[in-house]
Amino acid sequence: MAEKLEREALVDVAMGYEPADMVVVNGQIVNVHTGRIQRDGVAVKGSRIAALGDVKYAIGPDTKVVDAKGQFLVPGLIDPHTHVWHSYVNSTVFAACNLLHGCTGIADGFYGHGIVTGVRSIRFFLDELLATPVKPIFLVPVPCYSQRHGKGSLLSPNAPTIRDLFDMLKWPEAKGLEETRARLFIQREKRDPEILRLIEECLRLGKVPTGHGAIMDEWFRYGEAPADHFATANDDRHLNAWIAGGVMNNHELVSAEEAERQGELGLYILIREGSACTDVRQVLPFVTERGYDSRACQLCTDVMSTDWALERGQVDNAIRVAVKNGLDPIRAIQMSTISPAEFFRVNHDMGVIAPGRFADIVFVEHLADFRISRVIANGQVWVEEGKLTQELPQPAYPRWLYETMRVSRVLKAHDFRVPAPKGSSQTANVRVINARDGQLMTPPSLETLPVIGGAIQGDPGRGINKIAIIDRIFGTGRIGVAFVKGFDIRGGCIGTTANVTSQNILLVGTSDQDMAVAANETVKMNGGFTAVVRGKVVATFPTPLDGIATDLPFDQAFESLNRLLQAWRAMGCSLVAPQTNLEFATPGVMAQSGFRSH
């Protein structure tokens, strides 16, 4: 006898021919399809929903009955733009964090790993996530390619080629392209025709090209603005050209004005609320005050540091912030469920509590405060009263993921010396990078810094520290040193091997000796975060997988991270998410120091 098809089993439960595996009763379903609340039971067979309504007929002797006790039942949340690697944990731990916060679907391309070890690590971490109840909406990581050839400098020899991107687009998990930037094809003289071919192939396959739209800021920051036009951010030509190229959304908006115009031009608006950017308050008036339809909007996290992901929340936090800023709770939930599901054309599987969809159900007592009590994913209860009901097993990580620290010598204090310009006596005028809470941009300011022994010094009393970047990808041993304001390190050094572009070692400190100790420690542990005070390593958070993700399981990862952050706070750092600020200072230190890794 042939094995019953999955859909056939669902039909038989819906018809009452067979019992359900699970039935949820006494719940109030938030129907994101109609925008209404309905009192229906839910019958589940295997990993999917078989029926809604009075489903007592589906209860058999072995059926698990879950009493919702009047709670609201919300579809599993979907994060339409996030990066697993920015949380510095492996895909298994990331999935556990997501389940705790009701998120059962994420869109990601694993581009951070791709920069370091190419397609094979993208495939590995995608497969690791596929082994969990959190469903990946895989987006082919265009940033790997664009950063491979970024700013006239090869940032990694291992990053995917354009041919690799075409090949990944054929993967069954691929639903589109990740972060396609305007600078890749808008300007005729700098156009990469292969990117346009990739977008056309993506659209031909019925998949979705997503965008990274910090267009004008990006051009001006790198001195790429054309002299003849595109001279103001209000000029629609760059937006029209970008959208005409096939891009369908933008997550880089920071104001209601931007959202209004880009929405009018047909883009889907992704509003960020994560550890790097907290944009809901500034962008949401586009809907709440100006009356634009929320169907054009989705909520996303983009970047979440590990502690933020666990403690503040993810898309659930974005929903709470949106409601506090005037958005109706059901509309906020629609922006986090059905809207991204329809955008990525996966609404046959997720985004709504309905027959045939995955049984991903989030239980909340009140919609406005959106505190989660239980999470069902793939037809199993994974979260009860804020705790996981079972552990997610991690895979064995291959040796090649641990072999990415190409630093051949021991770093010394003199490697971080910044010679003063000729003619300097006691002070020198220096361009300083500025790190700020809730923002990715690190605008420079001109500061006067002390000169001692012919070398420029930081000024911890004014919150100005040295910042250094060290090549660990090409093995050149090159170092770039600049100055940064905002970390407020009073004594010692903090460091990481994760950063937003080249994934090199990045350090912020007050002492050249401590910076050398921190650099050598990160190499020793195959990558990670460090805290060094008076020449002693006082805390670490190891991220040896490609140098950017921990191999520690859930509890150990968060214990290690908490010790690290406590050490950083004791050193004077008060930034909300200093790990994120540290890695996003990378473009600034590269520009100010003239760093090139090869």
On the question of pLDDT at 233 being above 70, the answer is no
Q: Is the dihedral of CA 314, 317, 321, 323 positive or negative?
A: positive
Least Cα distance to 107 among 85, 132, 84 occurs for: 84
Exposed / middle / buried, residue 321 (Cβ in 10 Å: 0-12, 13-18, 19+)? buried
List the structure tokens of 251: 């997550």
Alpha-carbon gap, residue 212 to 230, rounded angstroms: 17
Secondary structure letter of residue 150 according to DSSP: G
Alpha-carbon gap, residue 406 to 474, rounded angstroms: 7
Stretch 65-88: mean pLDDT: 97
Alpha-carbon gap, residue 593 to 598, rounded angstroms: 14
pLDDT digits (tens, 9 = 90+) for 89-98: 999 999 999 9
Pairing of strands 72-75, 28-31: parallel
Q: Is 141 helix (H, G, I), strand (E, B) or coil?
A: strand
The helix or strand, by DSSP H or E, that contains position 479, with its residue range, turns out to be strand 479-485
The percent of residues above 70 in pLDDT, for the chain, comes to 94
User: What pTM was computed for the model?
Assistant: 0.94
pLDDT digits (tens, 9 = 90+) for 300-351: 999 988 888 888 889 999 999 999 999 999 999 999 999 999 999 999 999 9
pLDDT digits (tens, 9 = 90+) for 142-179: 998 876 554 445 668 888 999 999 999 999 999 999 99
In 6-69, which ranges are continuous DSSP H helix? 6-15
* 272 CA to centre of own chain: 10
pLDDT digits (tens, 9 = 90+) for 561-585: 999 999 999 999 999 989 999 988 9
- CB burial of 28-48 (b: ≥16 within 10 Å; e: otherwise) equals bbbbbeeeeeeebbbbbbbbb
Least Cα distance to 199 among 252, 154, 162 occurs for: 162
Alpha-carbon gap, residue 572 to 508, rounded angstroms: 12
Complete domains list, the chain, with CATH: 6-70 (2.30.40.10), 75-395 (3.20.20.140), 400-593 (no CATH)
Alpha-carbon gap, residue 490 to 534, rounded angstroms: 11
